[in-house]
């Protein structure tokens, strides 16, 4: 695969993660197609940029662990299914080396996002915004928080520092 193609493909990764955040904000869902596309890009790109064959396997292991733990949290009703799949697909790119940092930044961003949404929910919606379905959903206290936004913020912070990303960008 040429370096030009790799360069285009690698920048689809943050674009997809940002798209997931936008979907989550506007619809409170993250399409499975986004997580599957992140997985497909990993399968296509990782063999060309990983320093050895064990690196992609370790990244798959990191993603699998996040997915397994996330499924448990989903079963308890603590997180959404789309969030679990997005986090696992993102950790697939980040690997074990950046996984803790990613989850820490996601927790901080998620806490700030939650506090901001809870504060805004205490205020009445302006009349002109009452017809905006997405804002009404965010404002409704019966709904959760679109955590995909926090996951995307964490990915944008951590992903550019990871060896796999740096290898793909410099290829």
Cα separation of 7 and 12, whole Å?
A: 9
DSSP state of 5: H
- Which pLDDT score, from 0 to 100, does residue 171 have? 66
Q: What is the pLDDT of residues 11-39, one digit of tens each?
A: 999 999 999 999 999 999 999 999 999 99
Cα separation of 154 and 75, whole Å?
A: 24
86 within 8 A of 37, measured Cβ to Cβ: no
Cα separation of 132 and 64, whole Å?
A: 37
Q: Which two tokens stand for residue 67?
A: 């997915």
Residues 6+ apart with CB under 8 A from 34: 16, 17, 19, 20, 23, 86, 89
Residue with tokens 């499924």: 71
Q: What is the pLDDT of residues 42-99, one digit of tens each?
A: 999 998 888 788 999 999 999 999 999 999 999 999 999 999 999 999 999 999 999 9
Q: pTM for the complete prediction?
A: 0.91
- Which pLDDT score, from 0 to 100, does residue 1 have? 61
Cα separation of 163 and 13, whole Å?
A: 15
């Amino acid at each position: 695969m040429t370096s030009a193609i790799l360069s285009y493909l690698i920048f689809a990764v943050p674009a997809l993660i940002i798209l997931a955040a936008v979907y989550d904000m506007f619809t409170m869902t993250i399409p499975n197609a986004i997580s599957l596309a992140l997985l497909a890009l990993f399968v296509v790109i990782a063999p060309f940029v990983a320093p050895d064959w064990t690196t992609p396997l370790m990244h798959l292991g990191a993603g699998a662990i996040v997915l397994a733990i996330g499924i448990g949290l989903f079963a308890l009703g603590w997180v959404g299914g789309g969030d679990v799949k997005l986090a696992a697909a993102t950790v697939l790119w980040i690997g074990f080396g950046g996984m803790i940092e990613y989850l820490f930044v996601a927790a901080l961003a998620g806490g700030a996002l939650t506090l901001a949404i809870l504060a805004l929910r205490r205020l009445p919606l302006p009349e002109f915004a009452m017809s905006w379905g997405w804002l009404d959903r965010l404002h409704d206290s019966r709904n959760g928080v679109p955590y995909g936004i926090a996951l995307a913020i964490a990915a944008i912070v951590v992903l550019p520092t990871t060896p796999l990303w740096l290898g793909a960008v410099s290829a």
